[in-house]
């Protein structure tokens, strides 16, 4: 609670100045715009720095590093292509090397353009030196490529093929002719010894030539030693043959002279070939590659990748330097971005706090009064005229709205009072209208009822006037007859009783049950006669038809008494008043109940002897009828 109070006090202390709503919104948006400008300006500054570094990385460091690495790869690729041509003689390697050098030229051009932006002068000087070495390296590779796979590539082999091989062919051919001519001569011991000299000379010559070829191909010293042994033996056997040449025929002597001349020319060649093959220049392509191309490639690689260490790895060259600069710029760029992110977070937090504060106080000064005003207007809309209109003292638009709502409230109160007065007047008018309607309805009901009664009475009087006299006469006449019959029944009762007593005294041991039955019959007949007499006397004064209001049926008065039809009665007229009294015997039959029966002339028959029950119900045969009261 105390905390809420403190917050409320703080809110009041920081209350928005007395400004209208547009002024408050402008102030709030102005502060937010300032925060936004600060955030954008800081972001632009940091992004500009990051962009400079990024541009240097993208446009200088990365291309230079890539070009340097690409140049290293091209140098190695050119050497590989050159070696492939030297080893296989496949022209595809020459084409490949040409493409590599075309790419080297493109890379050199790119580095020339990038070197102008380098920040390290040593790298610029190193690149100028590398360009000169590249030209020398290109010339050396061209020399190697030109001599490779040519006879001049291997000088010893060239001497063998150009000089030694033809002489060796003459040696072998001429000594073979001498041996062939010897077959036709007699086989004397001297000739046989001479033939052995010829065979050894030819064999050592052939084996010596084979050792030369093997040594030139492999450079293995054992083949040189083998040649020395064979050629020493060849010299001995050739000397023997030369000492015995007098044994030769003319043709043999001619071939021997040719052999001797060729051998003399051949003698210095093996030593020369062995010396060349044993030297570094035995393969001139390899010699030029190692002597001229490889050193320049080494210089280029050292400048690009740095000198080799003890582990054979090159470090410290231009490539590593460019990578270091690239990493440095990348680290700086990352640091700038990190700083930018931190500043953005700080600005974001400050901006959110300021925005929340502005929103809170703006809402407090605008939204809260509007909500209160909305609630008050809602209560007024619900006709709650006790509602207090808030913010009447405000000097802004909400105050204007509040004062307008107060006018609306005052008008509602006046309208409510006027409506109350009008309602009272309407209620008075309604009461008067209801009273008039009740008076008119009562008057109309009374008049209608009176008219109905008069009309009914007139109809009844008209319908029964003609029958009243005749009915009364017959009723009186029949009442007299009934009275006489009753007196006679009483006399018979007295006589019957006397006879019963006398019979009882005279008869001894008779049937008492018959006597008692006769007494009961006489008593019953007496009671029926008395009841019928009372009924006839009660109905003797009846003059017309009566209506049973409960059952809704017509009770017919005929023969001096009324009979109401029961639920199973079938032949009863629905409207006696419309039918009128019977005009004759035929009409009188309509007023008779079928179960009771009538005479042919419509007159009432003798009343059957039946019990008259309490409540005015006469038990007729197979029917119940209600006597009208």
Segment 169-201, tens digit of pLDDT: 999 999 999 999 988 888 888 889 999 999 999
Q: Is the pLDDT of residue 617 over 50?
A: no
Q: In the β-sheet with 612-613, what is the strand arrangement from edge to edge?
A: 546-548, 553-558, 561-564, 623-627, 617-620, 612-613
Among 150-154, 228-232, 234-238, 444-448, name the one with the lowest average pLDDT. Answer: 444-448
- % of the chain beyond a pLDDT of 90: 28
State how far Cα 85 lies from the chain centre. 64
- % of the chain beyond a pLDDT of 70: 67
Q: Token digits for 89?
A: 């003689």
Tokens 């006398």 belong to 502
Sequence ranges of the chain with CATH classification 1.20.1440: 155-280
* Distances in whole angstroms, Cα of residue 431 to Cα of each of 425, 426, 434: 10, 9, 5
Taking each continuous run of H as one helix and of E as one strand, the counts in the chain are 19, 6
Q: Which carries the bigger pLDDT value, residue 122 or residue 539?
A: 122
- On the 0-12 / 13-18 / 19+ scale of CB atoms within 10 A, 558 is buried
- For 155-280, give the CATH class: mainly alpha
Q: Does residue 391 contact residue 372 with C-beta atoms inside 8 Å?
A: yes
Q: Which carries the bigger pLDDT value, residue 336 or residue 584?
A: 336
Range 218-238 average pLDDT: 93
Q: Does residue 280 contact residue 287 with C-beta atoms inside 8 Å?
A: yes
The predicted pLDDT at position 18 comes to 62
For the chain, the straight-line distance linking the first and the last C-alpha, in angstroms and rounded, comes to 92
Sequence ranges of the chain with CATH classification 1.20.120.1730: 63-153+283-351
Range 440-469 average pLDDT: 60
Q: Which carries the bigger pLDDT value, residue 136 or residue 367?
A: 136
Looking at domain 63-153+283-351, its CATH architecture is Up-down Bundle (1.20)
Among 46-50, 54-58, 400-404, 532-536, name the one with the lowest average pLDDT. Answer: 532-536
What is the band of 533 on the pLDDT scale with cuts at 50, 70, 90? low
Range 607-622 average pLDDT: 41
CA 219/CA 155 separation, integer angstroms: 13
Mean pLDDT of the chain: 74
What is the band of 569 on the pLDDT scale with cuts at 50, 70, 90? very low
Q: Token digits for 439?
A: 């008076």
What is the band of 510 on the pLDDT scale with cuts at 50, 70, 90? very low
Q: Token digits for 391?
A: 């913010």
CA 618/CA 536 separation, integer angstroms: 13
CA 111/CA 65 separation, integer angstroms: 10
* DSSP letters for 98-148: HHHHHHHHHHHHHHHHHHTT-S-HHHHHHHHHHHHHHHHHHHHHHHHHHHT
The predicted pLDDT at position 14 comes to 46
- On the 0-12 / 13-18 / 19+ scale of CB atoms within 10 A, 355 is middle
């Amino acid at each position: 609670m105390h905390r809420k109070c403190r917050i409320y006090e703080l809110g009041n202390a920081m209350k928005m100045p007395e400004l209208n709503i547009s002024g408050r919104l402008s102030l709030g948006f102005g502060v937010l715009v300032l925060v936004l400008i600060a955030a954008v300006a800081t972001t632009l500054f940091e992004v500009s720095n990051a962009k400079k570094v990024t541009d240097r990385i993208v446009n200088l460091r990365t291309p230079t590093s890539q070009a340097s690495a690409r140049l290293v790869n091209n140098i190695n690729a050119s050497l590989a292509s050159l070696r492939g041509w030297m080893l296989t003689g496949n022209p595809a390697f020459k084409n490949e090397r040409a493409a590599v050098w075309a790419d080297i030229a493109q890379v050199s051009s790119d580095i020339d353009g990038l070197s102008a932006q380098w920040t390290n002068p040593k790298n610029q000087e190193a690149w100028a030196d590398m360009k000169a070495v590249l030209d020398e390296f290109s010339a050396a590779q061209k020399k190697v490529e030109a001599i490779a796979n040519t006879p001049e590539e291997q000088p010893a082999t060239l001497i063998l093929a150009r000089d030694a091989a033809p002489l060796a062919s003459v040696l072998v051919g001429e000594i073979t002719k001498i041996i062939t001519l010897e077959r036709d001569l007699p086989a004397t011991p001297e000739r046989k010894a001479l033939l052995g000299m010829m065979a050894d000379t030819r064999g050592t010559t052939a084996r010596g030539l084979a050792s030369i070829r093997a040594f030139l191909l492999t450079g293995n010293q054992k083949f040189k030693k083998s040649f020395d042994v064979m050629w020493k033996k060849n010299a001995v056997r050739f000397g023997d043959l030369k000492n015995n040449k007098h044994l030769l025929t003319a043709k043999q002597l001619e071939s021997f002279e040719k052999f001797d001349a060729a051998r003399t020319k051949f003698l210095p060649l093996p030593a020369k070939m062995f010396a060349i093959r044993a030297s570094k220049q035995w393969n001139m392509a390899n010699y030029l590659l190692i002597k001229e191309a490889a050193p320049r490639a080494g210089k280029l690689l050292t400048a690009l990748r740095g000198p080799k260490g003890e582990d054979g790895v090159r470090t410290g060259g231009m490539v590593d330097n460019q990578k270091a600069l690239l990493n440095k710029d990348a680290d700086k760029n990352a640091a700038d971005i990190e700083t930018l992110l931190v500043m953005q977070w700080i600005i974001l937090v400050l901006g959110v706090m300021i925005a929340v504060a502005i929103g809170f106080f703006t809402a407090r000064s605008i939204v809260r009064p509007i909500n209160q005003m909305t609630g008050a207007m809602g209560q007024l809309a619900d006709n709650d005229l006790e509602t207090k209109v808030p913010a009447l003292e405000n000097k802004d638009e909400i105050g204007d709205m509040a004062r307008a709502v107060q006018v609306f409230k005052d008008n509602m109160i006046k309208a409510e009072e006027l409506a109350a007065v009008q309602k009272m007047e309407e209620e008075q008018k309604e009461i008067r209208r209801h009273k008039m309607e009740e008076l008119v309805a009562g008057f109309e009901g009374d008049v209608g009822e009176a008219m109905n009664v008069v009309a009914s009475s007139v109809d009844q009087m008209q319908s029964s006037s003609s029958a009243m006299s005749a009915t009364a006469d017959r009723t009186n006449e029949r009442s007299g007859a009934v009275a006489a019959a009753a007196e006679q029944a009483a006399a018979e009762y007295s006589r019957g009783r006397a006879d019963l007593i006398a019979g009882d005294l005279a008869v001894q041991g008779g049937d008492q049950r018959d006597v008692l039955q006769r007494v009961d019959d006489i008593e019953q007949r007496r009671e029926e006669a008395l009841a019928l007499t009372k009924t006839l006397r009660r109905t003797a004064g009846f003059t017309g038809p009566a209506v049973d209001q409960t059952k809704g049926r017509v009770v017919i008065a005929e023969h001096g008494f009324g009979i109401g039809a029961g639920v199973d009665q079938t032949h009863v007229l629905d409207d006696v008043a419309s039918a009128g009294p019977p005009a004759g015997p035929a009409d009188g039959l309509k007023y008779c109940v079928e179960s009771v029966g009538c005479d042919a002339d419509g007159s009432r028959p003798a009343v059957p002897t039946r019990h008259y029950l309490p409540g005015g119900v006469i038990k007729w045969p197979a029917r119940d009828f209600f006597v009208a009261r």
